[in-house]
Every structure is written in structure tokens, then in C-alpha cells.
């Protein structure tokens, strides 16, 4: 099964301020704030939900196609995709635009100041689901507002089952719009905070929302995840790891695991465990695409962790 990943590609520029922001920001002077932080440590990562999900799913051995819009500065990312065998056939370059990018500064207390430039992501509606042939499964992940709306409708029109993953795009939509996504999608995947926001904006409980989908998945961080399907809640355990380096991108890895399980027509218990194990493997590395996923090694690690093979 070919899986189409609709979503963002982005550069994440991560900087570390070796002090506390609080020591340099005067609370009574916020109305004339003018600060500058010296950041001796900086790294640039390849990110974006479509890029992250595709990277993980490809690592598991999935047949994956990524779709997104990028800017004229995409060449380093394009070379990275080529080196990892990720197709760029449906990655559209928008003239005169930058690739979406986040500039994140973190202090020694793990407080963060982030600036996000959507850039070419805002033109994601220029891509169309029908442009990709042979697709049998999909996901609408965080992207430009118009693109997310259009791609969900196009998956429905094409009769292709898909996951709705609102993520950071959740604030862009009101209650009726979110409910429309839920009713269009075959599956919904959110973290626990996003689930609360979704329930609040739609005035429906998780149990009620799950009745409108084939499965409603809620990730709970270190507490694992829950999959609501056919009036049953599958409780998926988190996989403990020896080192927690960076949780950024764990949600995308989890979604890649779900997509792999769906493509392989595995049961929810197994699909959830694949997703949980893959996200735990990502957390052992900084960045979102710096961990290596090998299908055979992953299968062995799954068998060792859960006591059976998928």
C-alpha cells in the first residue's frame, strides 16, 4: 500500500542561551521590550510533519510519498531526502518563498522563545491528492490552512482512508471546521492536550468523537496512548528507554508507526505498539530525523520488547 503524507516541510534552527531569560527581562518594562540573547550553541535540523513522518515510515520499510510546498532554499533538505530514498515528486517549490522554518531559543531552565515563519507552507493547497497515483492510505498533518481543508476533501472524493492529525494547526480551525475534519477522516490522532481542545471546540467527548471515526487515537506521553475503536479502548504502553534526549518529533514517529500498521492491516494492539516503540527510538536522539530506523533491527527490538513478532 502506498501512503501519501500531506503536511509541512520545515527547517528548525535551535539555539541555546546559557543563562535564564528571567535575568534579562524586566517584568515592569515589557511594554518597551528590547532584548538580545547571545547563543553560542546552534544547530539546524530538517523537520516539518510531512518530512518527519515520511522519514520514519520509510525507515520501517513503508511505501511512502510525501506531499508539501517548500521554498527556494530547499536544496539542502532535498539532498537529505535523496540520500535517504525519499521521493520528491510531489514536493512543490514555490518561487519567491522560503521553506517554513522555526527559530527556537531555549534557556537553561528549558524555557523557549520561538518564532515561526510559514513561508511556502501557506501555498500547500497548490498540491492535489489526485496528483499522486496508486495511493491507498493517507494522512492530513499540520500544514497550510487551505491545504489541510482541500486535502481532506480530496481524500474523501478519491475514496482513500486517511488520518486527521491537526497538531500545531489546531488553532486555525473553529469547532464546526474541526468536526467536519473528524467526520471526513477514517482515523483521528491527537495528543492529550489537543484532545481536550478538540472536545472543547466541538462540545463532544472523546467517546462521542470516536463514534464518528473508525479509530480515535490519543497519545499520553510517558503514560503511553489510548486507541478508541469499535467501542473498545486499547491501552498501549509507553516503551521505556535508557536515555531521554529530545522528545521533539516523537509524535510524528508515532503517527508513522500507526500508518505502517494500517498499511500492513495489523490489529490495533500491534499497530499501537509499533508506534510506541518507534517514538521511543526517536526520543533517544536530538532532532527529528537523526535516528536510524532499520526494518529488521526494528522487528527484532519489537519482539524483544513485547514478546511476539508482527
- The DSSP secondary structure of 270-303, one letter per residue, reads HHHHHHHHHHHHHTTSSSSS-S---HHHHHHHHH
First to last CA, the chain: 17
pLDDT in the model for residue 35: 86
Beta bridge partners of 47: 10
Instruction: Specify if 310 maps to a domain.
Output: no
Residue at 126 is within a domain: yes
Task: Examine residue 199 and state whether it is found in any structural domain, yes or no.
Answer: yes
| Angle between helical axes of 192-202 and 175-184 (0-180°, round to 10) | 110
Q: How do the pLDDT tens digits run along the chain, 310 residues long?
A: 899 999 999 999 989 899 999 898 888 878 888 889 999 999 999 999 999 999 999 999 999 999 999 999 999 999 999 999 999 999 999 999 999 999 989 888 878 888 999 999 999 999 999 999 999 999 999 999 999 999 999 999 999 999 999 999 999 999 999 999 999 999 999 999 999 999 999 999 999 999 999 999 999 999 999 999 999 999 999 999 988 888 889 999 999 999 999 999 999 999 999 999 999 999 999 899 999 999 999 999 999 999 999 9
Q: In the chain, how many domains are there?
A: 1
Quick check: is 85 in a domain? yes
d(CA 4, CA 130): 11
Strands 187-191 vs 162-164: parallel, antiparallel or unpaired: parallel
Separation of alpha carbons 25 and 120, rounded Å: 33
Q: What are the strands, taking DSSP E only, across 147-203? A: 162-164, 187-191
What Å distances lie between residue 5 and 80, 142, 160, 193, 255, CA to CA?
A: 17, 11, 12, 23, 11
pLDDT in the model for residue 109: 86
Contact 114, 106 (CB under 8 A): no
Within-domain flag for 308: no
Beta-strand relationship, 90-93 and 100-106: unpaired
Give me the domain span that covers residue 77: 2-17+39-302
φ/ψ region of 230 (left if φ > 0, alpha if ψ in -120 to 50, else beta) reads left
Phi and psi at residue 82, in whole multiples of 5°? -60, -40
pLDDT of residue 242: 83
Which cell numbers hold the place of 128? 492535489
- Which grid cell sits at 35? 532584548
Query: Residue 170, exposed/middle/buried by CB under 10 A (0-12, 13-18, 19+)?
Result: middle
- 34 occurs within a structural domain: no
In degrees and rounded to multiples of 5, residue 12 shows phi and psi of -110, 110
Which of the residues are catalytic?
A: 252
What angle in degrees, to the nearest 10, is found between the helix axes of 49-59 and 250-263? 50
- Other beta carbons within 10 Å of 266: 16
**Nine-digit cell string for 179:** 468536526
In degrees rounded to 5, what are phi and psi of residue 203?
60, 35
Question: Locate cell 501555498: which residue?
Answer: 123
DSSP 171: G
- Evaluate whether residue 25 is within a structural domain: no
Instruction: Count Cβ atoms below 10 Å from residue 283 Cβ, excluding itself.
Output: 21
Say if 290 falls within a structural domain. Answer: yes
Question: At 86, which CATH number?
Answer: 3.40.1190.20
H helix or E strand, kind and range, residue 262: helix 250-263
CA distance 251 to 276: 9
- Residues 269, 254, 165, 106, CA torsion sign: positive
Query: pTM of the entire structure?
Result: 0.94
DSSP letter assigned to residue 130:
G
Residue 80: the pLDDT is 97
Amino acid at each position: 500500500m502506498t501512503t501519501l503524507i500531506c503536511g509541512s516541510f520545515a527547517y528548525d534552527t535551535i539555539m541555546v542561551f546559557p543563562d535564564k531569560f528571567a535575568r534579562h527581562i524586566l517584568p515592569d518594562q515589557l511594554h518597551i521590550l528590547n532584548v538580545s540573547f547571545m547563543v553560542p550553541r546552534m544547530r539546524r535540523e530538517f523537520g516539518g510533519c510531512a518530512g518527519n513522518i515520511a522519514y520514519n515510515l520509510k525507515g520501517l520499510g513503508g511505501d511512502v510519498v510525501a506531499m508539501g510546498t517548500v521554498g527556494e532554499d530547499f536544496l539542502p533538505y532535498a539532498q537529505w531526502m535523496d540520500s535517504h530514498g525519499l521521493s520528491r515528486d510531489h514536493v512543490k517549490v514555490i518561487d519567491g518563498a522560503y521553506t517554513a522554518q522555526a527559530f527556537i531559543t531555549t534557556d537553561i531552565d528549558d524555557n523557549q522563545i520561538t518564532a515561526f515563519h510559514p513561508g511556502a507552507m501557506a501555498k500547500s493547497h497548490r498540491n492535489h491528492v489526485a496528483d499522486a497515483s496508486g495511493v491507498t492510505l493517507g494522512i492530513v498533518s499540520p500544514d497550510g490552512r487551505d491545504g489541510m481543508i482541500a486535502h481532506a476533501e480530496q481524500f474523501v472524493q478519491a475514496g482513500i482512508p486517511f488520518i486527521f492529525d491537526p497538531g500545531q494547526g489546531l488553532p486555525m480551525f473553529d469547532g464546526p471546521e474541526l468536526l467536519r475534519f473528524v467526520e471526513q477522516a477514517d482515523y483521528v490522532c491527537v495528543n492529550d492536550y489537543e484532545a481536550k481542545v478538540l472536545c472543547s471546540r466541538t462540545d463532544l467527548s472523546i467517546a462521542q468523537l470516536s463514534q464518528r471515526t473508525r479509530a480515535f487515537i490519543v497519545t499520553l506521553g510517558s503514560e503511553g496512548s489510548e486507541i478508541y475503536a469499535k467501542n473498545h479502548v486499547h491501552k498501549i504502553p509507553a516503551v521505556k528507554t535508557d536515555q531521554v534526549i529530545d522528545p521533539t518529533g516523537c509524535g510524528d514517529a508515532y503517527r508513522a508507526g500507526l500508518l505502517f500498521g494500517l498499511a500492513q492491516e495489523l490489529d490495533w494492539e500491534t499497530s499501537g505498539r509499533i508506534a510506541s516503540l518507534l517514538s521511543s527510538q526517536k526520543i533517544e536522539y536530538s532532532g527529528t530525523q537523526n535516528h536510524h530506523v532499520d526494518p529488521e533491527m526494528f522487528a527484532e527490538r519489537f519482539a524483544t520488547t513485547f514478546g511476539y513478532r508482527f
